Amino acid sequence: MTKGPLQGSIEHALVIADVKKSEVRDFVVELEPWLASRVRDVAVRELAEFTVAQQELLEHGEEGLRPDLAIVLGGDGAMLAAVRAFRRTPVPTLGINFGRVGFLAATPVSHWRETLAGILAGEGLVEERMRLAFSIESAKGDVTRKGIAFNDAVVNRAAHQRMMTVSLAVGDTWVTDYRADGLIIATPSGSTAYSLSAGGPILLPSMAAMVVTPISPQGLASRPIVLEPETRLSVEIAYASGITTLVVDGQSYYPMEVGGRVVVERHPVSYPLLAMPELDPYRRLRERLGWAHTIGRTTS
């Protein structure tokens, strides 16, 4: 972790609110004047409208909004949408959790005042989150799509088709073929998302690594593996009985074909998420996964 924005350096704050949640709508009424009394400029945007408008600007080669601080009100889905909206020019982002889990939206709403006051005073920490760059290649070798993943890139079969076979290579070295329902390539941030539910390991968010996790593999020897961050890996569709899709961060979907492949490597620019020292990743794991009470201990 590194120190967050210096005291007095935050002049423009952007609040991105998932207003589908009634508690978020009520909270904005309290948050906006509190921020306005402490920073020069405060803008409030509804999550869906903001992400659509930002995407249109990016598609036209424009930068879009670039505040000194982005505050996301919602859950991890809202955080992923906001992070993807700033994918070209990342900004320091704080998530205030109104969801069920909150690995990315790490700040509980009950702690918002002390967390934001600390960040504005220069006491916050930046968690530099590793991202993935991916490209999809057709069976002919043409690149059909490029993009960035924050949590994961998942090669998936359709719901009612049989298992698929995917071939994993690291650099020019073939590793193995997986016969499974799909394959997850995750960042440390994504290790607590779909990869975790599929049996993958938990990586601390400050780490740099890739996790490859098969989804319901046929062979018991098919296990998740952790790869070095500078690895360039490729996943080729060797067999599929129907539609195959690359799903990025659970929010973007790209069709793939037999013989096609997705190439994944570390993106050169990390994404800065903000946190306070007392909300360390171990505490988050204890609280989000229910570890705090598993051996009769209590935590503050």
Checking if the pLDDT of 11 tops 80, the result is: yes
CATH of the domain at 180: 2.60.200.30
Instruction: Extract the tokens encoding 96.
Output: 């205030």
Query: Does the pLDDT of residue 103 top 90, yes or no?
Result: no
Q: What is the dihedral of CA 74, 251, 197, 290, to 10 degrees?
A: 0
How far is C-alpha 200 from the chain's CA centre?
A: 16
Q: How confident is the model at residue 100 (pLDDT cuts 50, 70, 90)?
A: confident
Q: Please, are residues 115 and 277 in contact by the beta-carbon 8 Å criterion? A: no
Do 146 and 254 sit in the same domain of this protein?
yes
Domain limits at 19? 2-130+270-293
Q: Please report the pLDDT score of residue 260 as a whole number.
A: 97
Within this chain, do residues 230 and 152 fall inside the same structural domain, yes or no? yes
* C-alpha distance across the termini of the chain, in Å: 22
In a domain, 63, yes or no: yes
Task: Verify that 260 and 141 share a domain, yes or no.
Answer: yes
User: Rounded to an integer, what distance in angstroms lies between the CA atom of residue 174 and that of residue 147?
Assistant: 24
Q: Which helix (H) or strand (E) holds 209?
A: none
Cα–Cα distance for residue pair 47/296, rounded to 1 Å: 40
HSE (side-chain half, CA atoms, 13 Å) at 92: 22
pLDDT at 182 over 90: yes
Regarding whether 155 and 41 lie in a shared domain, the answer is no
Instruction: Give how many domains the chain has, as a whole number.
Output: 2
Active site residues per annotation: 76
Q: Please report whether residue 83 resides in a domain.
A: yes
218 and 164 within one domain:
yes
Binning the chain into helix, strand and coil, the percentages to the nearest 5 are 25, 35, 40
- HSE (CB half, 13 Å, CA atoms) of 209? 16
Domain co-membership, 124 together with 137: no
In a domain, 298, yes or no: no
Q: What pLDDT score was predicted for residue 7?
A: 74
Both 108 and 142 in one domain: the answer is: no
Same-domain status, 211 and 164:
yes
> Are 184 and 237 within one domain?
yes
- Tens digit of each residue's pLDDT (9 = 90 or more) over 145-176: 999 999 999 999 987 788 999 999 999 999 99
Mean pLDDT of the chain: 91
Nearest C-alpha neighbor of 49 from the set 73, 80, 81, 4: 81
| Assigned domain for 181 exists | yes
Q: Hey, what amino acid is at 89?
A: T
Task: Check which CATH number belongs to the domain holding 74 and give it.
Answer: 3.40.50.10330
| Structure confidence by residue, pLDDT tens digits, 107-137 | 989 989 999 999 999 988 899 999 999 999 9
Shared domain for 249 and 145, answered yes or no, is yes
Contacts of 166 by beta carbon, 8 Å cutoff, 6+ apart: 155, 177, 178, 180, 182, 183, 235, 236, 237, 238
**pLDDT given at position 294:** 53
pLDDT in tens, 187-218: 999 999 999 999 999 999 889 999 999 999 99
Is 160 in the same domain as 109? no
Say yes or no to pLDDT of 185 above 70. yes
What pLDDT is recorded for position 296?
53
Shared domain for 119 and 9, answered yes or no, is yes
Question: What are the pLDDT digits (tens) for 241-291?
Answer: 888 999 999 999 999 999 999 999 999 999 999 988 776 777 777 777 777
- Give me the percent of the chain exceeding a pLDDT of 70: 96
Domain assignment present for residue 216? The answer is yes
Q: CA dist 18 to 26, 104, 161, 228, Å? A: 11, 15, 35, 35
